[in-house]
Amino acid sequence: MQNEKLGRALAARLDELAQSGRAKGKETVICGIAPARGGEGPRYLVEGGGDRLFLRMNANNYLGMASRAEVVAAEAAAAARFGVGPGAVRFIAGTWSPHVDLERRLAAFHARPAAMLFSSAYAAVLGTVAPLISDGAAVISDELNHNCIINAVALGRPAMKHVYKHLDLGELERALERAAAKHARAIVITDGVFSMRGDHAPLDRIVALTRKYDDAFSEGAIVVVDDSHGVGALGKSGRGVEEHVSSAPADLLIATLGKAFGVNGGYVVGGDTVIRYLRETSPLYVYSNPIAPGEAAAAHAAVEILDSPEGLALLEHLRAMTARFKAGLLKLGCETLPGEHPVAPLLTRDSQRTLALTAELRKGGVLATGLAYPVVPKGQEEIRFQISADHTQSDIDFALAALSAALSALEGGLSAAP
C-alpha cells in the first residue's frame, strides 16, 4: 500500500505543478493509424476521440520512417530471427550483429571512425558528456540547450560551468579565455537544432573558435553537439547542422534514432579512442540493455533509405512542405522564426492564448504542441508545429485552414504579430 504521508507530500507537489502550469497533464493516447490516401498523409485515431481522424503536427517523425514499409519489414524480420529483446547488457552477451552493423553504418554515414549505441538519445547525452567531465574540466554550454545536456553537466560536476547567452559567441570566447587560465580540459556543448524554436547553432563558427583555443588546454578543447533534431532534417543529404552550415566535424556528435530515423535509441560518433573509452566508462552504456536487435535492424534500414536518392527526394519534399507551412503562417499574420528546419513555431507570447489556440486546433482536427509559461519564459510562449515528409500539400493546407479558423474563433487575438 502507498505510504500515506509520502502520498500527501507528492499530491501537494502535483497540485503545485498543476497550479503553476508546469504539469504535463493527461497524455494523448494514439490508438491507430489510417494510412495515407487520396492525396492526404496518414491520420491518427486518439483515445476518446471515437472514429475521428487527426492530422498530427506534433511528431518528431520528420521523414515518415516510423511507418515506412521497408523499415517495419526490417524490424519484423530481425525480431523473427533474434527475438524481441537483447536479453543482457552489451558486455554480457547483449551485443547482437544488428547492433554492430548499425554502429558501423552510422559511423560511415557521419564520416567518423566509430559509433556507439545507447538506449535513447537522452541516455546518449548523459552517457557521453558526464564521463568526459574530469576534475579539471570546464564546461561551456548554450543557455537554451536541452534538459538532457543540463542534467549531463550537473551529473559530471565540472570544476567550471559557464552558460552563455543563446548563440552569443562573444560570451563563449570570453568563457574559453577564462577557462584556459586554470583548467586542463574544455568541453563546449550545444544543441545542433534547438527543439523549441527550430533555430540552429552556428556550428562552423563554434568549432573554429574552440579549435583556436585548443593549445591553451593541456587536455584540449572539444566540441560536443547534440544534433538529434538536425540529423535527417537539415542539410542537403540529411547529415544535420554540420552539413547545413558547412562546419568542420565536431569532436563528438550525438543524435537519435527516434526522430528522423523513426525507430528508438540514441548514438554518438567520434574518434576510436574516445568511443572505446566511453564503452568502458559510461554507466548508461555499461549497465543498461541496448535497443532490441529488431530496432537496430529497422534503424539500419532507415539510414540506408536516407542515404540514397530516395532519401534526397524525401528531404526535398520535407523542405517544400516546411516552406509552404511557414509561408502560410506569415500570410495569416502570425509571428514565426525563419529557417528551413521543420520545427515551425507560432509565437503567441501569451500563455492563455497558447492554451486556447491549441484547444481550438484540436477541435479542428489538428494535434499541435502548446508551450506556455513557465515551460518557456514569459513572452516566449508558442505553438510548436512539426512538419513531416508524410505531410502532403493537402495536409499543410488543412492545417493552415484549421489555424485560420482557430484564430477567428479567438476573435483574431493572435492573428497579428505583436
Residue 104 phi/psi, 5-degree rounding, is: -65, -40
Q: Which residue is it, cell 511507418?
A: 67
**402 vs 55: CA distance, rounded Å:** 10
Does the active-site annotation cover 24? no
- DSSP string covering 88-135: S-IIIII--HHHHHHHHHHHHHTT-SEEEEESSHHHHHHHHHHHH--T
Give Cβ neighbours of residue 5 (< 8 Å, ≥ 6 apart): none
**224 vs 125: CA distance, rounded Å:** 9
Q: What is the dihedral of CA 129, 260, 324, 335, to 10 degrees?
A: -30
- Angle CA(333)–CA(337)–CA(338) in degrees, nearest 5? 105
**Closest C-alpha among 251, 181, 193 to residue 221:** 251
Catalytic residue, from 229, 244, 326, 391: name it.
229
**Closest C-alpha among 242, 232, 150, 230 to residue 195:** 230
Catalytic residue, from 110, 259, 326, 391: name it.
259
Cα of 152 vs its chain's centroid, Å: 16
Does the active-site annotation cover 195? yes
**106 vs 94: CA distance, rounded Å:** 19
Catalytic residue, from 119, 120, 141, 195: name it.
195
**188 vs 226: CA distance, rounded Å:** 11
Does the active-site annotation cover 165? no
DSSP assignment, residue 199?
-
Mark 296-331 as b/e (b = at least 16 C-beta within 10 Å): bbbbbbbbbbbbeeebeebbebbbebbebbbebbee
- Helix pair angle (69-82, 293-306), 10° resolution: 150
27's grid cell: 497524455
Q: Which residue is it, cell 515518415?
A: 64
**242 vs 254: CA distance, rounded Å:** 12
Active site residues per annotation: 195, 229, 259
